[in-house]
Structure 1
Amino acid sequence: MSTEFRKLLFEVSEALGTEELSALKFFSLDYVAKGTLEAIRDPKALFEVLQERCMIGAGNLFFLKELLYRIHRIDLLTAHLGSSREEMERELQVPGRAQVSDYRQLLYGIAEDLTSENVQKVKFLLQGPLQKSKLQENASMLQVFLEMEINEIIKEDNLTMLKDILQGFRADLKKKIDAYEGKKREKYSREEVRYPVSVSVYPEEQGAKQYGEIYKMENNPHGYCLIINNHIFKNRRHNREGTLQDGEAVKRVFKWLQFETVEYMDLEGKKIYDTVEEYSKKDHRNMDCFVCFIFSHGEKDKIKGVDDECVNIEALVSRFTGTNCPSLAGKPKVFIIQACQGSEHHPSVAVESDSSGHLEVDARPPTSIPDRADILIGMATVEDYFCYRSRSTGSVYIQSLCEKMELLCPQRMDLASILTEVNREVATKDIEGFKQMPKITSTLLKLLIFEVPQ
Structure 2
Amino acid sequence: MDFHKLLYTISEALATEDLVALKFLSLEHIPLRKQEGIRDPEALFLALEEKGMMEEDNLSFLKELLFRINRIDLLTDKLSSSREEMERELQIPGRAKVSQFRWVALYHIENITTDELKSLKFLLIKELPKCKLDNEMTLINVFIEMEKKGLLAEENLEILKTICEKIDKSLLKKIEEYELDRNAALRKVFTKLHFEIAEHKDLTAEQIRHTVHVYRNMDHHDRDCFVCCILSHGDKGIVFGTDGQETSIQELTTSFTGMNCPSLAGKPKVFFIQACQGDTFQKGVHIETDSSELDSSVEADARFQLECIPDEADFLLGMATMKDFVSYRSTTQGTWYIQSLCEHLEKSCPRGEDILSILTAVNREVSRKNDRLNQGKQMPQPSFTLRKKLIFPVN
Following the alignment from structure 1 to structure 2, what is the Cα–Cα distance between the partners of residues 146 and 216? 35
1:199-239 deviations in whole A, cap 9, x for unaligned?
xxxxxxxxxxxxxx988452324x53x6xxxxxxxxxxxxx
Following the alignment from structure 2 to structure 1, what is the Cα–Cα distance between the partners of residues 277 and 155? 27
Code of the aligned partner of 2:28: D
- Is the Cα contact below 8 Å between 2:165 and 2:172 reproduced in 1? yes
Cα RMSD of the aligned pairs, angstroms, is 4.7
- Is the Cα contact below 8 Å between 1:284 and 1:328 reproduced in 2? no
* Higher mean C-alpha deviation, range 173-182 or range 71-80: 173-182
1:70-101 deviations in whole A, cap 9, x for unaligned?
00001111111111100111111222322112
Code of the aligned partner of 1:179: E
1:161-215 deviations in whole A, cap 9, x for unaligned?
2222222332222222233233334355432376799xxxxxxxxxxxxxxx988
State the match for 1:83 in structure 2. 81
Following the alignment from structure 2 to structure 1, what is the Cα–Cα distance between the partners of residues 249 and 92? 40
Identify which of 236, 240, 260 aligns with 1:283.
Answer: 240
What are the ranges of 5 or more consecutive residues in structure 2 without an aligned counterpart? 196-223, 256-270, 281-285, 288-311, 320-335, 349-353, 365-380, 391-395
Following the alignment from structure 2 to structure 1, what is the Cα–Cα distance between the partners of residues 18 and 343? 40
Following the alignment from structure 1 to structure 2, what is the Cα–Cα distance between the partners of residues 131 and 69? 33
Identify which of 184, 187, 190 aligns with 2:188.
Answer: 190
Following the alignment from structure 1 to structure 2, what is the Cα–Cα distance between the partners of residues 335 and 169? 37
Measured at CA, do residues 285 and 115 of structure 1 come closer, stay the same or move farther in structure 2, by a change above 3 Å? closer
State the match for 1:231 in structure 2. none
Code of the aligned partner of 2:58: N
Measured at CA, do residues 52 and 195 of structure 1 come closer, stay the same or move farther in structure 2, by a change above 3 Å? farther
Identify which of 374, 385, 394 aligns with 1:445.
Answer: 385
Deviation at 1:46, TM superposition (A): 0.8
Q: How does 1:30-45 map to 2 (within 5 A)?
A: 30-45=28-43
Measured at CA, do residues 82 and 160 of structure 1 come closer, stay the same or move farther in structure 2, by a change above 3 Å? same
Following the alignment from structure 1 to structure 2, what is the Cα–Cα distance between the partners of residues 60 and 285? 34
- Is the Cα contact below 8 Å between 1:69 and 1:85 reproduced in 2? yes
- Is the Cα contact below 8 Å between 1:214 and 1:446 reproduced in 2? no
State the match for 2:162 in structure 1. 164
Secondary structure in 1 aligned to 2:231? coil
Code of the aligned partner of 1:445: T
- Is the Cα contact below 8 Å between 1:16 and 1:43 reproduced in 2? yes
1:225-258 deviations in whole A, cap 9, x for unaligned?
x6xxxxxxxxxxxxxxxxxxxxxxxxxxxxxxxx
Measured at CA, do residues 192 and 125 of structure 1 come closer, stay the same or move farther in structure 2, by a change above 3 Å? closer
Following the alignment from structure 1 to structure 2, what is the Cα–Cα distance between the partners of residues 177 and 442? 32
State the match for 1:110 in structure 2. 109
Following the alignment from structure 1 to structure 2, what is the Cα–Cα distance between the partners of residues 73 and 166? 28
Following the alignment from structure 1 to structure 2, what is the Cα–Cα distance between the partners of residues 34 and 45? 14
- Is the Cα contact below 8 Å between 2:229 and 2:272 reproduced in 1? no
Q: How does 1:290-305 map to 2 (within 5 A)?
A: none
1:240-297 deviations in whole A, cap 9, x for unaligned?
xxxxxxxxxxxxxxxxxxxxxxxxxxxxxxxxxxxx6xx75x636999x99xxxxxxx
State the match for 2:9 in structure 1. 11
State the match for 1:247 in structure 2. none
1:141-168 deviations in whole A, cap 9, x for unaligned?
1111112222232322332322222223
Deviation at 1:115, TM superposition (A): 2.2
Measured at CA, do residues 45 and 141 of structure 1 come closer, stay the same or move farther in structure 2, by a change above 3 Å? same
1:379-401 deviations in whole A, cap 9, x for unaligned?
xxxxxxxxxxxxxxxxxxxxxxx
State the match for 1:384 in structure 2. none
Secondary structure in 2 aligned to 1:110? helix
Percent identity, aligned pairs only? 35
- Is the Cα contact below 8 Å between 1:335 and 1:376 reproduced in 2? no
Q: How many residues align?
A: 270
Following the alignment from structure 2 to structure 1, what is the Cα–Cα distance between the partners of residues 183 and 340? 23
Following the alignment from structure 2 to structure 1, what is the Cα–Cα distance between the partners of residues 249 and 69? 44
Following the alignment from structure 2 to structure 1, what is the Cα–Cα distance between the partners of residues 164 and 242? 29
Deviation at 1:446, TM superposition (A): 4.8
Following the alignment from structure 1 to structure 2, what is the Cα–Cα distance between the partners of residues 285 and 137? 28
State the match for 2:20 in structure 1. 22
Identify which of 209, 224, 229 aligns with 1:218.
Answer: 229
Q: TM-score, normalised by structure 1?
A: 0.48
- Is the Cα contact below 8 Å between 2:359 and 2:382 reproduced in 1? no
Following the alignment from structure 2 to structure 1, what is the Cα–Cα distance between the partners of residues 359 and 112? 51
* Higher mean C-alpha deviation, range 65-74 or range 164-173: 164-173
Following the alignment from structure 1 to structure 2, what is the Cα–Cα distance between the partners of residues 14 and 62? 20
Following the alignment from structure 2 to structure 1, what is the Cα–Cα distance between the partners of residues 277 and 87? 38
State the match for 1:54 in structure 2. 52
Following the alignment from structure 2 to structure 1, what is the Cα–Cα distance between the partners of residues 240 and 384? 21
Code of the aligned partner of 2:385: L
- Is the Cα contact below 8 Å between 1:10 and 1:44 reproduced in 2? yes
Following the alignment from structure 1 to structure 2, what is the Cα–Cα distance between the partners of residues 169 and 185? 26
Code of the aligned partner of 1:39: G
Measured at CA, do residues 214 and 131 of structure 1 come closer, stay the same or move farther in structure 2, by a change above 3 Å? farther
Following the alignment from structure 1 to structure 2, what is the Cα–Cα distance between the partners of residues 61 and 179? 31
Following the alignment from structure 1 to structure 2, what is the Cα–Cα distance between the partners of residues 145 and 161? 11
- Is the Cα contact below 8 Å between 1:21 and 1:43 reproduced in 2? yes
Q: How does 1:413-452 map to 2 (within 5 A)?
A: 414=356, 418=360, 444-446=384-386
